[in-house]
Homo-oligomer: A and B are copies of this chain.
Amino acid sequence: MNILVTLNSNYIKPLKVMLKSLFLNNAEDKFCIYVMHSRLSDDEVADIQNFVAANGSSSKIIRIDDKVFENAPVIFHYPREMYYRLLAFKFLPPELDRILYLDPDILVLNPVKELYYTDMGDYLYAAAYHDVISIKEINRLRLNPYEIEAYYNSGVLLINLELQRELVDENLIFEFVEKNKAKLIMPDQDVLNALYSKKIKSLDEKLYNYDSRYYGIYKLKSKWDMDMVINKTVFLHFCGKKKPWKKDYSGRFHALYKHYEKLALK
């Protein structure tokens, strides 16, 4: 299975933790990890490659020259890396038909196979949205007049590369960003939702993009308790500003995260 990650130097440790959890909970499967970056050092790249190899999978490093996005609009502090997911097909081998993008602030708790081989039909992407009313409404208003049915989270994104090659036009994306600069908050996610909302296959967030901050809500609304998270949830996503590898973190999955961190980094 092909996994896509993008990162800068600050995310090497979280990336390893995410990958370690992926490998441990998918022990029967092999992965090829595509690492897209623009400014990792050679040592950092070697470190990641050794880590993946030591865990029995392979990796391919794709360095993207800054010049590639020379003409793309950049929004204040958001880096060009935001385009990597949306234009993944441009940098990946032409024979790949699909790839699963994963944020580094994720723990993989169960096998990903079922999601990976899901029928994509005419969908460009598969993703989940967080069904918290306030979030949905705010984003619907913010991205008006673009019609969005739900505001998908781009942290777990199954990409139909064959269709991306056919349908995605980088100029349309650049135009959109240029025109909406002022109101974009999470640029890559905003683009995904404004331009492709109807081409996204909706996944169950409890399985494929469980927001670590909403344990109480999932439990109340869907009876998705700790047993279900540990035994069923595939991607536990540490959304938001507070991250479990930071000193000030305190959350319900803190101990579990530190456990995987120990396994990954010791």
Query: Closest CB of chain B to A218's CB: distance in Å?
Result: 13
Q: Mark A251-266, 1 if CB is under 8 A from B, else 0.
A: 0111110110110000
Residues of chain B within 8 A of A227, CB atoms compared: 258
Query: Within A230-266, which residues are at the interface with B (CB < 8 Å)?
Result: 230-231, 247, 249, 252-256, 258-259, 261-262
Q: Give Cα distance in the complex from A225 to B231, angstroms.
A: 27
| Protomer copies | 2
Q: Give Cα distance in the complex from A225 to B247, angstroms.
A: 9
Query: Closest CB of chain B to A208's CB: distance in Å?
Result: 18
* Residue A186 CB within 8 A of the other chain: no
Question: DSSP majority for the A interface?
Answer: helix
Query: Closest CB of chain B to A4's CB: distance in Å?
Result: 27
Q: Give Cα distance in the complex from A262 to B226, angstroms.
A: 11
Residues of chain B within 8 A of A247, CB atoms compared: 225
* Residue A229 CB within 8 A of the other chain: yes
Q: Give Cα distance in the complex from A218 to B229, angstroms.
A: 28
Q: Which residue of B lies closest to A256 (CB)?
A: B255
Q: Give Cα distance in the complex from A109 to B226, angstroms.
A: 20
Q: Is the CB of B253 within 8 A of A230?
A: no
Q: Is the CB of A262 within 8 A of B229?
A: no
Q: Is the CB of A230 within 8 A of B252?
A: no
Q: Is the CB of B258 within 8 A of A226?
A: yes
Q: Which residue of B lies closest to A110 (CB)?
A: B262
Interface centre among A231, A247, A255 (most CB of B within 10 A): A255
For the complex of A and B, 8 pairs with smallest distance between CB atoms: A255-B256, A230-B258, A253-B255, A226-B258, A256-B256, A226-B254, A230-B262, A230-B259
Other CB < 8 Å A-B pairs besides A225-B247, A231-B262, 20 of them? A226-B249, A226-B254, A226-B255, A226-B258, A227-B258, A229-B255, A229-B258, A230-B255, A230-B258, A230-B259, A230-B261, A230-B262, A231-B258, A252-B252, A252-B255, A253-B255, A255-B255, A255-B256, A256-B256, A259-B259
A selection of 10 A-B contacts at a CB cut-off of 8 Å is: A226-B255, A226-B258, A229-B255, A229-B258, A230-B255, A230-B262, A253-B255, A255-B256, A256-B256, A259-B259
